[in-house]
């Protein structure tokens, strides 16, 4: 399967990676000279899609932060697969490490992640990548699928109403290249105690504010100081109110629709999304508030985290 890849002559071992939601086949590669690489395979019918993804990764790699940077792209497996070969980011999953660190260190790592995200969003858009439409209609259609399901949770009415009444508060910013899945689960705590970024396969062009709602979904349950730090650094310590308004739309919509989205994966995943949705309702006071209470509480103690 790998013999078409010329570089494979230098590989000592290839181990499958069975983690994450991506449909790509992923492998950890170790060379005879002890280099660590990541190999991603996809079906050949996704050639153009994966070629574009590789080009986006090249753009991000030019920004200079630690990441799974590009080495090679091509076709293998008798022209049945498309592959990309990337550098492996050595370290540990940030979501595992964060709870073991001091709140000060968690906050500082959040700030580092926020600065990296700001760099990603600074990449100039190619004209052909500027979208002709927004995601407003898609978000409302997804919400309708949740409303029509038998998976609804108690007291969801205010969240539904908030999304519908404020849907025009999203996509007001100029579109940017996005990571698409930026949260501690896709970040690495590197061997030199900094942040490394992986898994760019959900990249897209869109509203930069959409990049933040997964802090509520997958960040706050791990480290609130990290989440606060990411927001603070991204906005250079001056968070605009229009961000909070738009972020609340994204959080409310995602919290509810994710329950319906999880349905094919079974009851365990549905229960996880229900739990996250209930926490979001509590954090935003049933979306009567747009600034989550976990951020407001951290504001009081932030001076301690900065020193």
Which residue has better confidence, 18 or 204? 204
Cα separation of the two ends of the chain: 53
Which of 18-22, 237-241, 303-307 is predicted with the least confidence, judged by mean pLDDT?
Answer: 303-307
Superfamily for 6-88? Answer: Phosphorylase Kinase; domain 1 (3.30.200.20)
Look at residues 163, 166, 128 and name the one whose alpha carbon lies nearest to residue 145. Answer: 163
Q: Give the pTM.
A: 0.91
Specify whether domain 92-305 bears CATH 3.90.1200.10: yes
Domain spans in the chain, listed from the N-terminal domain onward: 6-88, 92-305
Residue % of the chain over a pLDDT of 90 = 90
Average pLDDT over residues 289-305: 73
pLDDT digits (tens, 9 = 90+) for 184-225: 999 999 999 999 999 999 999 999 999 999 999 899 999 999
pLDDT digits (tens, 9 = 90+) for 53-96: 999 999 999 999 999 999 999 999 999 999 999 999 999 999 99
């Amino acid at each position: 399967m790998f013999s078409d890849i010329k570089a494979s002559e230098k590989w000592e071992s290839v181990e499958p990676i069975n983690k994450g939601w991506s449909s790509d086949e992923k492998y950890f590669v170790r060379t005879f000279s002890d280099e660590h690489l990541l190999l991603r395979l996809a079906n050949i019918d996704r050639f153009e899609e994966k070629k574009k993804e590789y080009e986006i990764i090249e753009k991000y790699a030019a920004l200079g932060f630690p990441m799974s940077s590009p080495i090679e792209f091509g076709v293998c497996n008798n022209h049945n697969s498309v592959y990309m070969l990337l550098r492996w980011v050595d370290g540990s999953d940030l979501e595992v490490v964060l709870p073991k660190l001091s709140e000060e260190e968690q906050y500082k790592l959040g700030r580092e992640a926020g600065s990296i995200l700001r760099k990603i969003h600074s990449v100039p858009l190619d004209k052909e990548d500027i979208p002709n439409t927004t995601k407003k209609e898609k978000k409302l259609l997804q919400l309708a699928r949740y409303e029509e399901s038998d998976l609804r949770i108690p007291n969801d009415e205010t969240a539904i109403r908030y999304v519908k009444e404020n849907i025009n508060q999203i996509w007001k910013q100029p579109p940017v290249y996005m990571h698409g899945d930026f949260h501690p689960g896709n970040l690495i705590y590197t061997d030199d105690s900094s942040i490394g970024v992986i898994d760019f396969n959900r990249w897209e062009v869109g509203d930069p504010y959409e990049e933040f709602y997964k802090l509520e979904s997958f960040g706050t349950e791990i480290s609130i100081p990290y989440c606060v730090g990411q927001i603070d650094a991204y906005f250079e310590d001056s968070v605009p109110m229009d961000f909070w308004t738009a972020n609340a739309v994204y959080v409310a919509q995602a919290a509810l629709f994710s329950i319906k989205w999880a349905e094919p994966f079974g009851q365990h995943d549905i229960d996880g999304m229900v739990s996250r949705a209930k926490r979001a309702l509590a954090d935003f006071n049933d979306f009567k508030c747009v600034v989550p209470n976990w951020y407001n509480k951290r504001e009081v103690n932030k001076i301690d985290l900065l020193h």
